[in-house]
Amino acid sequence: MIRLEELTKIFETRDGRAVAADHVSMEVREGEICILLGPSGCGKTTTLKMINRLIPPTSGKVFINGQDTTDYDTITLRRGVGYVIQQIGLFPNMTVAENIGVVPRMLGWDKRRIDRRIAELLEMVSLDPAVFMKRFPKELSGGQQQRVGVARALAADPPVLLMDEPFGAIDPINRGLIQDEFLKMQQKLGKTILFVSHDIDEAVKMGDKIALFSEGKLQQFDSPDNVLAHPANDFVADFVGRDRTLKRLPLTCVADVLETGMPQPDAGTVRVHVTGSDDLRTAVSLMFAHELDQLPCMDGQGRYLGCVTLAGITRHLGQTYRNADDRSGPAGGTEG
Amino acid sequence: MASTVIPHRSWRASSGWLLLVAVVALLGWWIHHADLIGTLLGYQDQIVYLTGQHIELVVISGSLAIVTGIPLGIFLSRPFFRRYSESCMQLLNVGTTIPTLAVLALSMTFLGIGTKPAIFALWVASLLYIVRNTYSGLVSVPSHLIEAAVGIGMTPRQILWHVELPNALYVIFAGVRTALTINVGTVPLAFLIGGGGLGQLIFTGIDLDETGMMLAGAIPTALLAVVVDALMSGAAYLLIPRGVNPLR
């Protein structure tokens, strides 16, 4: 659990005071991924770096698992918090194994425990220990380097992970792959993660929560679906875009909107199908491609489970707006 | 990667050797032609003795320059000193523009004659290369490496030893190599203030117009410089970790 309390950073510059983070308060529950999102200069990175005191806060507090982090000295705090940066920052003079073992070595683990841990972590980030342990960073691809970067951050099993645009420098195909792997890993690890991004799609994909920043202020802190469905203000609405309802499609899987009572469409006319774990974006894309307004859903053995319909999807997406009638009105409407 | 580096290196190495062989052959021919072998053999005892002295001067002044230059370079690169470090480098630069001969003369005025002022002048002549390369090697370690190191909880000392110095080592080595090679070539001047070394044969040879004697000093000096350079490049190849060693 990470709690930020009125966290503020004011930089004294030659042109006067610059408020980089303005009384930021939020709470990320244990095991959740929170994406700090926003345009450059919005204060998201400053907020992240105040948590491990790479940037000392001007005022405000950070609590990790209920413990005020000012109780720890800076070095102890940082060794207990995993940190991944966009430039990866693997030490070129050390092998992959040595890079991963840096923090455990500093913490005084014995050698056999460190070696076991290194092998375990490399397996976890899908790199064969026998192949990669002795390699140097320059002998790895960008994606492999960042996998090692993540492994290094996880080495001492910290409860909290801070990630500063970790996959920003990786090509789109590998980025998607490494994001999927990371999510799978997180399901097992259940770390509390703060993750800086400027990419709304990445935020929707990776985040349990999104914290949207602008001009040093936290504009909205909510689940991805709520940020997309109910932007708190014009800035958020603008940032998530006019097509924001489409961005909600990947957040729901077919099984959640399945209409089981429908008869199976004629297999002669409908040649495509989805599975229960496909997301709605995939389903809608198939419907558009084949001029259909409903698709059969099959299980792994090819048994028919029910249908997903365009009307059903519309109903599902619209539900949140109907429920919010007592709010200021449907935010997915015509403005923006 | 390796396939592009190795041919390049071997090409450089082989052309270097080719040049060396050509020079040696030419020298050999000339020596034979001038019938100098006998003359040189006549100076054998002096050559051995003075080469020993020469090496001693290089080792002492070079080691002093290393043990003072590297810490000084580290000191100049520390964040608390960054504001002044450029001015200090300028000062050192001005220091090297003073000809070594002048430094020798100056050091003689307050250290007298003999080995001491010679070592001092040689130390001065070698220092800048080591300080400058140590400093610039350290400040050019990419800032994201430092950020990563700080972020995972390394202390400033651990960052220096485990991140900054290893990543600057290649540049530092290059500085030491230059310094020592120049040092070997400067030692002959030490003879002028009674510091000994192969300069004794060179300058005496010049004074007496005895080419043989002069060459008995000059040839070993040249060979010594080549050997020191080769030793340093071998050491760089072996001692710098593979991950940051462009040679392998």
Distance CA A162, CA A150 (A): 10
Residues of chain B contacting A73 with CB distance shorter than 8 Å: none
Q: Which residue in the set A75, A83, A103 is minimally distant from B155, CB to CB?
A: A75
Question: Tell me, what CATH number does B70's domain have?
Answer: 1.10.3720.10
Q: Which of A255-259, A268-272, B92-96: highest mean pLDDT?
A: A255-259
Q: Mean of the pLDDT values across residues B115-128? A: 92
Q: Mean of the pLDDT values across residues A108-122? A: 96
Q: Mean of the pLDDT values across residues A23-52? A: 95
Q: Does B248 touch chain A (CB under 8 A)?
A: no
Residue B153 lies in a domain: yes
- In this model, does residue A270 exceed pLDDT 90? no
The percent of residues above 90 in pLDDT, for chain B, comes to: 57
User: Which chain B residue is nearest to residue A79, measuring alpha carbons?
Assistant: B153
Residue B182 lies in a domain: yes
Q: Mean of the pLDDT values across residues A125-143? A: 94
Pairing assessment for the beta strands A294-298 and A304-309 based on DSSP bridges: antiparallel
Residues of chain A contacting B169 with CB distance shorter than 8 Å: 93
Q: Does B157 touch chain A (CB under 8 A)?
A: no
Asked if A93's CB is within 8 angstroms of B166's CB, the reply is yes
Q: Which residue in the set A76, A77, A136 is minimally distant from B243, CB to CB?
A: A136
**Do B247 and B169 meet the contact criterion of CB atoms below 8 Å apart?**
no
Q: Which residue in the set B148, B150, B241 is minimally distant from A93, CB to CB?
A: B241
Residues B201 and B181 in one domain: yes
Q: Mean of the pLDDT values across residues A311-324? A: 88
Fill in the DSSP letter of residue B1. -
pLDDT of residue A215: 93
Residues B201 and B79 in one domain: yes
pLDDT tens profile A186-209? 999 999 999 999 999 999 999 999
| pLDDT mean across residues, chain A | 91
Q: Does B246 touch chain A (CB under 8 A)?
A: no
A323 to chain B, closest Cα gap in Å: 44
- In this model, does residue B16 exceed pLDDT 90? no
- In this model, does residue B234 exceed pLDDT 90? yes
Residues from A contacting B (CB-CB < 8 Å) are 52, 54, 75-80, 83, 85, 87-95, 102-103, 106, 136-139, 152-153, 162
Q: Is A95 left (phi over 0), alpha (psi -120 to 50) or beta?
A: beta
Q: B30 or B72: whose pLDDT is higher?
A: B72
User: What amino acid is encoded at A274 in this protein?
Assistant: V
Asked if A54's CB is within 8 angstroms of B151's CB, the reply is yes
pLDDT bracket for residue A335 (50, 70, 90) = very low
Percent of chain A as helix, strand, coil, to the nearest 5: 40, 25, 35
The percent of residues above 70 in pLDDT, for chain B, comes to: 93
Please count the residue pairs, one from chain A and one from chain B, whose beta carbons lie less than 8 angstroms apart: 78
pLDDT of residue A267: 75
pLDDT tens profile B163-208? 999 999 999 999 999 999 999 999 999 999 888 899 999 999 999 9
Residue B56 lies in a domain: yes
Number of domains in chain B: 2
Asked if B149's CB is within 8 angstroms of A89's CB, the reply is yes
Residues B231 and B200 in one domain: yes
Residue B206 lies in a domain: yes
Residues B91 and B162 in one domain: yes
pLDDT of residue B101: 87
- In this model, does residue A334 exceed pLDDT 50? no
User: Which chain B residue is nearest to residue A154, measuring alpha carbons?
Assistant: B152
- In this model, does residue A302 exceed pLDDT 90? no
pLDDT of residue B2: 39
CA B191 to chain centre: 19
pLDDT tens profile B39-93? 778 888 999 999 999 999 999 999 999 999 999 999 999 988 888 888 988 888 8
A252 to chain B, closest Cα gap in Å: 36
H or E stretch at A193? strand A192-197
Residues B116 and B195 in one domain: yes
- Find the Cα–Cα–Cα–Cα dihedral B50, B51, B54, B58, rounded to 10°: -160
Q: Which of B152, B157, B163, B244 to mutate to test the interface with A (most CBs of A within 10 A)?
A: B152
Backbone angles phi, psi at A182, to 5 degrees: -65, -40
Q: Which residue in the set A89, A103, A153 is minimally distant from B147, CB to CB?
A: A89
Q: Does B155 touch chain A (CB under 8 A)?
A: yes
Q: Does B148 touch chain A (CB under 8 A)?
A: yes
Asked if A106's CB is within 8 angstroms of B163's CB, the reply is no
Fill in the DSSP letter of residue A34. E
Q: Mean of the pLDDT values across residues B156-160? A: 96
- In this model, does residue A131 exceed pLDDT 90? yes
pLDDT bracket for residue B6 (50, 70, 90) = very low
Asked if A89's CB is within 8 angstroms of B145's CB, the reply is yes
Asked if B145's CB is within 8 angstroms of A137's CB, the reply is no
User: Which chain A residue is nearest to residue B243, measuring alpha carbons?
Assistant: A93
Residue B178 lies in a domain: yes
Residue B141 lies in a domain: yes
Asked if A137's CB is within 8 angstroms of B154's CB, the reply is no
Residues B81 and B13 in one domain: no
Residues of chain A contacting B244 with CB distance shorter than 8 Å: 92-93
Asked if B148's CB is within 8 angstroms of A83's CB, the reply is yes
Q: Mean of the pLDDT values across residues A240-244? A: 91
Distance CA B197, CA B46 (A): 10
Residues B142 and B229 in one domain: yes
Distance CA A152, CA B46 (A): 61
Residue B38 lies in a domain: no
Q: Is A65 left (phi over 0), alpha (psi -120 to 50) or beta?
A: left
How is residue B105 written in tokens?
């003369």
pLDDT of residue A191: 96
Q: Mean of the pLDDT values across residues A114-141? A: 95
Residues B10 and B84 in one domain: no
B4 to chain A, closest Cα gap in Å: 14
Asked if B242's CB is within 8 angstroms of A153's CB, the reply is no
Q: Which residue in the set B1, B155, B243 is minimally distant from A92, CB to CB?
A: B243
How is residue A108 written in tokens?
């005084």
- In this model, does residue B8 exceed pLDDT 60? no
Q: A329 or B77: whose pLDDT is higher?
A: B77
User: What amino acid is encoded at A93 in this protein?
Assistant: N
pLDDT bracket for residue A92 (50, 70, 90) = very high
Q: Which of A69, A87, A93 to mutate to test the interface with B (most CBs of B within 10 A)?
A: A93
Residues B78 and B124 in one domain: yes
Cα separation of the two ends of chain B: 10
Domains of chain A and CATH, by start: 2-242 (3.40.50.300), 252-316 (3.10.580.10)
Q: Mean of the pLDDT values across residues B227-247? A: 90
Asked if A138's CB is within 8 angstroms of B153's CB, the reply is no
A46 to chain B, closest Cα gap in Å: 14
User: Which chain A residue is nearest to residue B161, measuring alpha carbons?
Assistant: A93
pLDDT bracket for residue B12 (50, 70, 90) = low
Residues B55 and B164 in one domain: yes
How is residue A103 written in tokens?
């923090």
Asked if A54's CB is within 8 angstroms of B144's CB, the reply is no
| pLDDT mean across residues, chain B | 88
B240 to chain A, closest Cα gap in Å: 9
- Among candidate residues B213, B236, B235, B187, the one with its CA nearest the CA of residue B52: B187
pLDDT of residue A336: 38
Residue B150 lies in a domain: yes
**Do A116 and A92 meet the contact criterion of CB atoms below 8 Å apart?**
no
Residues of chain B contacting A92 with CB distance shorter than 8 Å: 145, 167, 243-244
Domain of residue B50 covers 43-244
Residues B70 and B189 in one domain: yes
Map residue A86 onto helix, strand or coil: coil
Residues B57 and B25 in one domain: no
